[in-house]
Chain A
Amino acid sequence: MAEAQNIPAGSTTAGAIAVAAESTVATRMSAPPSFDVADFPVPHGREEEWRFTPLNRLAGLHDGTAVASGNGVKVVIDAPDGVIVETVGRDDERLGKAGIPVDRVAAQAYSSFEQASVVTVPKESVLTEPVRITVHGEGGTAFCHQVIELGAFAEAVVVIDHTGDAVLASNVDYLLGDGAKLTVVSVQDWDDKAVHVAQHNALIGRDASFKSVVVTFGGDLVRLHPRVSYAATGGEAELFGLYFTDRGQHQEHRLLVDHNNPHNKSNAVYKGALQGEGAHAVWIGDVLIRVMAEGTDTYEMNRNLVLTDGARVDSVPNLEIETGEIVGAGHASATGRFDDEQLFYLMARGIPEQDARRLVVRGFFAELVQQIGLPDVEERLITKIEQELEASVA
């Protein structure tokens, strides 16, 4: 089911489907998950989970030299009535329930934060307005932990905006009670120097639905690790991602969907456009269907559009299947380029160069944007994509 087409020089698209083999997803990590940073050796860059990441641009998040400063990030949570927003200490029992840090930076974040934010949507409350969380970088270094918990049959939309400049390592937990519905939009609209490394853990309750929309535009280095596991059966996860990687930027999205319970669904679609010298996008899509996960239905896809020379994509889907009793499982990855011949063809029909590029990039993202289901977010993304294009050509 893997496919690859029109791969420009300097890009890789590799994929694997392993059946009933030893867990490659687990063994590819150099250390087992842990909350304690001391359990992870300092990475040297050749480990599977670090091999695409330029460690020298992590601002010391990986080797213990990054120290929290007072002016790290300012977090403001604006929640509608009925939502409980708390600031809690490290010992709060709700922290760390959705997942365990899987690499040294996530463990460093977990070992270093002093207070955490917990946003609770009580059971059966259906929000009509989104919860808005702004994380604004103020130039320093910060370690954060956030928990968003939905009680049974609660429904909420959460929009998390990252702006400004900061060095930020964080863990974000999403806990979905039975029958809950959560949509989270995480926008990484950082300034040019920001470094942002985060692990997102979603634990999906029985018959609950989780929709994640990850949008990455800015930053010098952004490395996100969205992970999903299931507490019971009947759960559904939709993971949508959109990135626009500019000159010199490193944007890395490493997904893991752990089908650790039977009869759950997952669908991941990530699309990225790249332009400029040294633009580097990495997409890792790990899907694990464990032996008990009968009735699993999963699909993952990554598409990249390379707009100029000098950009690089590494796209690696991995699907690991330990039971044959599933509804469906598939993956696809393709990287194509917008080249001079395409430009010539469109211009030969009277379309000016700028408009030609816009046409192609809009078309590329349109299908994905339409699936978000939040009109104001959709409109904002289209506008932002156009700004990125304008800025690049100017």
Chain B
Amino acid sequence: MTCLAVTRSLLAVTSAVALLASAPVLADPLKVGMITTLSGPGAGLGIDIRDGFALAVGHLGGKLGGQDTQIVEADDQQKPDVAVGLANRMVERDRVNVVTGIVWSNLALAMMPTLAAGQTLFVSPNAGPSQLAGAQCNPYFFNVAYQNDTIHEAMGKHVQDAGFKKVYLLAPNYPAGKDSLAGFKRYYKGAVAGEVYTQVGQLDYAAELAQVKAAAPDAVFAFYPGGMGINFIKQYEQAGLKAAAPLFGPGFSFDQDILAAVGDAALGAKNSAQWSPDLATPANAKFVTDFKAKFNRLPSMYAAQGYDAALLIDAAVKGVNGDLKDKDKLRAAMKAAKFDGLRGTFRLNSNQFPIQNIYLREVVKGADGAVTNKLAGTVFSDHADAYAKDCAMK
């Protein structure tokens, strides 16, 4: 095992070297720290966020809020310790005005104390853990995507309304996984045939699927983002379970990054999200077309969230007329920000998480043969998360 220990220290050395090589200091532009997952199995999500953000900056002429914008990019490798190190560096050395990019809830939680102590705004384009929405809400934390639970709550409501009585639940064993099943059960009132937490990054689900089959549920709800979702959906279909019990999940389990890799295995699956490629807002149509043209792939919800993160920062900087010196003013301007994002007019709750519609989507084969999501209804209108009442901020 010494070689694994060596690998770890090598990783540390490599990232340290990578850090030394970046970011000269400029006069007074807006500096955005893009800490996201650019390598390893979660990289697809981070790259989509980064590219969505870059597309928005491009649409705004390279300037957020009219300020010259410099993006300092860093790879968190989906590791909390690396993310904290990077957050520290962004605060101490790069002196960024805003940190964004974060994909994973456990990393966001780990980075929060450092960023709050450094009075650096933290705009999450994805991670929205219950802690930061409720009792531990933080004036420096803004979420532009969703509170984790809300997407799962929508699926719970749909499964409940559709009349399923015995549902089997699966999620990875990390904060967002716990939030997921808690959210689902907040609106689903039927029997739970089984509740299973699996290892984060698990490859093989044969053991869990055999248990599912034995429990004979009438539906299955699974939260598996990224590569885990691909593994799970492929294996679910191969085990012949798709015919026995329909598979439901939050949008993360059936988003574009996963659909491209699983193909027909996901067809017909119903899932919930705050965004869909066919959502009818003027900004969204342009976003989908331009993203496809620029990056030669369909955008995922993560790309859409990255795009909206840039719009939120843009609105905040406009709100202070480009005066970045006063951190409290910038923060207040972000809280008061109003803009038309990909989901229509964007609204923040008192805990600085969005109040928004959550939609039902269905996986379909598009006209060009690509497997993608299509809107199939609205589950919640102007939905706020369940934790805002525990947040002391007004």
Bound pair (A, B): no
